[in-house]
Amino acid sequence: MKSDRVKKGVETTPQRSLFKAMGYIDEELERPLIGIVNSFNEIVPGHIHLNTITKAVKEGVRIAGGTPIEFPVIAVCDGIAMGHVGMKYSLASRELIADSIEIMATAHAFDALVLVTNCDKIVPGMLMAAARLNIPAVVISGGPMLTGKSFGKKDTDLNTAFEAVGAYNAGKIDEYELKSYEDSVCPGCGSCSGMFTANSMNCLTEVLGMGLPGNGTIPAVFAERVRLAKKAGIQVMEMLERNIRPRDIMTEANFKNALACDMALGCSTNSILHLPAIAYEAGVIINLDEVNEISAKTPHLCKLAPAGQHHLEDLYYAGGIQALMKTLADGNLIDDSLMTVTGKTIAENIQGVTNKNPEVIRTLDNPYSPTGGLAILFGNLAPDGAVVKQGAVAPEMLKHQGPARVFNSEEDATSAIKAGKIVKGDVVVIRYEGPKGGPGMREMLFPTSAIAGMGLDKDVALITDGRFSGATRGAAIGHISPEAAAGGAIGLVEEGDLIAIDIPNRSIKLMVDDAVLEERKAAWIPQEPKIKTGYLARYSKLVTSASTGAVFEK
């Protein structure tokens, strides 16, 4: 066992003495040492209950003959960090999470890991660490939040609260109704209940084969979630015994499966940052052209909030991710021969699974759209690509041309929107918010929610070299690459320039002559870094483009 280097033989007497100082006994040290990575804290609703999940995991490990040893990792709540400097740290935390797990697992010679996670950057950060370390590992999420019941509306969620602010500022609701949403849209623990980034990544973890069936959809408050956690603890011991490692599971074929399910689910645009980053650690390259190729042949079968009215608990009751995978496998749209952390193939996992609600999971002959929920756009404004959640765009905005309204920060754009300075037909451009320029590539849920709340989401587009929350809906196009801070064309846009967006034809163009753009580029002066000290200053120097997953340079 890998852990023998810290517990076997005469030479490790000092190490064993340190274990004894913590109360471990010889019988525990004779067993495999299983690291339990717990991202619990008291500031993230998706993580507030993870001590309960972690306890269940440890019980499972002990049942199967291992010694569980818990250690922590950081977690940022994107909702609380939204709209201020805190959001700059969210994506940047992903690399710290992966690095800290690598450090702890290697320094203490763990034989295997169970990764207890739930929210946006923590899930991909843990998967990146698992791929990098390549020791047996199982991921278990804390599960999705239940939907809220607010002010006469059947199903509400965090996005309802963000959009309610826009509606209040537009005079469409009063203070009493606004407070009602505040008090009820998030009814308890769990990852926010729509197909936002956290749930997108938890579902795709299940597709990748790194989470047990049910990982993506069993609600946080259900006892079934605790039972699944115990099974995760048991299952990691089988992975160790059979020497099944993350890179045996996270193969190129399984990433293609993940992209196909991503398209069928209409996941968060952030998945197009995280899947390439996880793949990179597994030695697999995902290029953005592949995303469009898979989208072209994969129908959009699920419209969960914010694209539709269904939420994660509806998907759970419909049969969950396994039912979606069964539908796609029956249509030969995914490879079901691949290994998973169950120790079985996808085909074995989905045997006998049925779709219990064809309105939540549409059949292949009745999709919402014949193509996937995400699209990658290219053009002179984004030669390296940009991403849009096309399944959440109103039909009338799939093609749009309008004048640019240019802002060099999220705050400036949000202020203009709230002041009524943005009108029908405009294209809001927010730049210098990319991985380097932000730094940290903030989510733009405040401006997109303000646009939606004021009733302009069917009339106004927003493009940015930053990114969007999975809760965003409307013609919101992010990850413009190259970013402004790297000299990308988005940094050359001037007020009033026409921008043409054609999502069906995967195009985004700045309607300015090439000669004029060359003149602007010659005169372009990069902005001073917005943050010059601390972690983000180092991050800005190391991070690569959004088109490559915003990973660190080697």
Verdict on whether the full-model pTM lies above 0.85: yes
Rounded to whole angstroms, how far apart are CA atoms 236 and 229? Answer: 11
| Residue 453 confidence (pLDDT) | 84
Rounded to whole angstroms, how far apart are CA atoms 552 and 554? Answer: 6
Q: Which amino acid, 226?
A: V
298 φ, ψ (degrees, to nearest 5): -115, 120
Tens digits of residue pLDDT in 105-148: 999 999 999 999 999 999 999 999 999 999 999 999 999 999 99
Q: Is 31-146+188-350's fold the same as 375-548's?
A: no
Q: Which amino acid, 141?
A: S
| Residue 153 confidence (pLDDT) | 72
Mean pLDDT of 70-90: 95
Tens digits of residue pLDDT in 522-546: 999 988 889 999 999 999 999 999 9
3-state secondary structure of 511: coil
Q: Is the confidence at residue 152, as pLDDT, over 80?
A: no
3-state secondary structure of 444: coil
| Residue 118 confidence (pLDDT) | 98
278 φ, ψ (degrees, to nearest 5): -65, -45
For residues 102 and 23, is the Cβ–Cβ distance under 8 A? Answer: no
Rounded to whole angstroms, how far apart are CA atoms 392 and 375? Answer: 11
Rounded to whole angstroms, how far apart are CA atoms 87 and 442? Answer: 5
The proportion of the chain whose per-residue pLDDT surpasses 70, expressed as a percent, equals: 100
| Residue 94 confidence (pLDDT) | 98
| Residue 150 confidence (pLDDT) | 82
Peptide bond before residue 482 is cis, with ω within 30 degrees of 0: yes
Instruction: Find the range with the poorest average confidence among 80-89, 349-358, 484-493.
Output: 80-89
3-state secondary structure of 144: strand
Instruction: Give the distance from CA 96 to its chain's centroid.
Output: 16
Q: Which residues line the annotated binding site?
A: 78, 120-121, 443
Q: Is the confidence at residue 472, as pLDDT, over 90?
A: no
| Residue 166 confidence (pLDDT) | 87
Phi-psi region of 266 (alpha: psi -120 to 50; beta: other; left: phi over 0): left
Compute how many other C-beta atoms are within 10 angstroms of the C-beta atom of residue 395. 7
Tens digits of residue pLDDT in 41-75: 999 999 999 999 999 999 999 999 999 999 999 99
Question: Per the structure block, which two tokens stand in for 188?
Answer: 């308890």
Question: From edge to edge, which strands make up the β-sheet containing 67-72?
Answer: 67-72, 33-38, 112-117, 137-141
315 forms beta bridges with none
Tens digits of residue pLDDT in 417-437: 999 999 999 999 999 999 999
Mean pLDDT of 167-186: 93
> What average pLDDT is seen over the chain?
96
Rounded to whole angstroms, how far apart are CA atoms 93 and 77? Answer: 11
List, as one string, the DSSP characters of 386-432. Answer: EEE-GGGS-GGGSEEEEEEEEESSHHHHHHHHHTT---TT-EEEE-S
From residue 17, give the alpha-carbon distance in Å to each of 8, 23, 39, 70. Answer: 12, 10, 28, 19
The answer as to CATH 3.40.630.30 being correct for domain 375-548 is no
Rounded to whole angstroms, how far apart are CA atoms 554 and 542? Answer: 9
| Residue 144 confidence (pLDDT) | 98
List, as one string, the DSSP characters of 291-358. Answer: HHHHHHHS-B---BTTSSSB-HHHHHHTTHHHHHHHHHHHTT-S-TT-B-TTSSBHHHHHTT---S-T
The proportion of the chain whose per-residue pLDDT surpasses 90, expressed as a percent, equals: 92
Catalytic residues: 469
Instruction: Give the distance from CA 5 to its chain's centroid.
Output: 36
Domain boundaries, the chain: 31-146+188-350, 149-183, 375-548
Tens digits of residue pLDDT in 212-248: 999 999 999 999 999 999 999 999 999 999 999 999 9
Q: Which residues line the annotated binding site for Mg(2+)?
A: 78, 120-121, 443
E-strand ranges in 110-225 read 112-117, 137-141, 148-150, 153-156
138 φ, ψ (degrees, to nearest 5): -130, 140
Q: Report CA dihedral (444, 449, 455, 460) to the nearest 10 degrees.
A: 10
Domain at 31-146+188-350, CATH class: alpha beta
| Residue 154 confidence (pLDDT) | 74
For residues 250 and 522, is the Cβ–Cβ distance under 8 A? Answer: no
378 φ, ψ (degrees, to nearest 5): -130, 160
Rounded to whole angstroms, how far apart are CA atoms 24 and 34? Answer: 14
Q: Which helix (H) or strand (E) holds 277?
A: helix 271-281
Q: Which helix (H) or strand (E) holds 481?
A: strand 476-481
| Residue 296 confidence (pLDDT) | 96
Mean pLDDT of 292-318: 96
Compute how many other C-beta atoms are within 10 angstroms of the C-beta atom of residue 460. 27
| Residue 171 confidence (pLDDT) | 93
Pair type for strands 427-430 and 507-510: unpaired
Confidence of residue 393 (pLDDT cuts 50, 70, 90): very high
Q: Residue 157: which residues within 8 A CB-CB, separation 6 or more?
A: 145, 147, 148, 185, 186, 192, 193, 194, 305, 311, 471
| Residue 214 confidence (pLDDT) | 98
Closest listed residue to residue 128, CA positions, set 150, 156, 97: 97
For residues 313 and 304, is the Cβ–Cβ distance under 8 A? Answer: no
Q: Is the confidence at residue 471, as pLDDT, over 80?
A: no
Rounded to whole angstroms, how far apart are CA atoms 210 and 231? Answer: 13
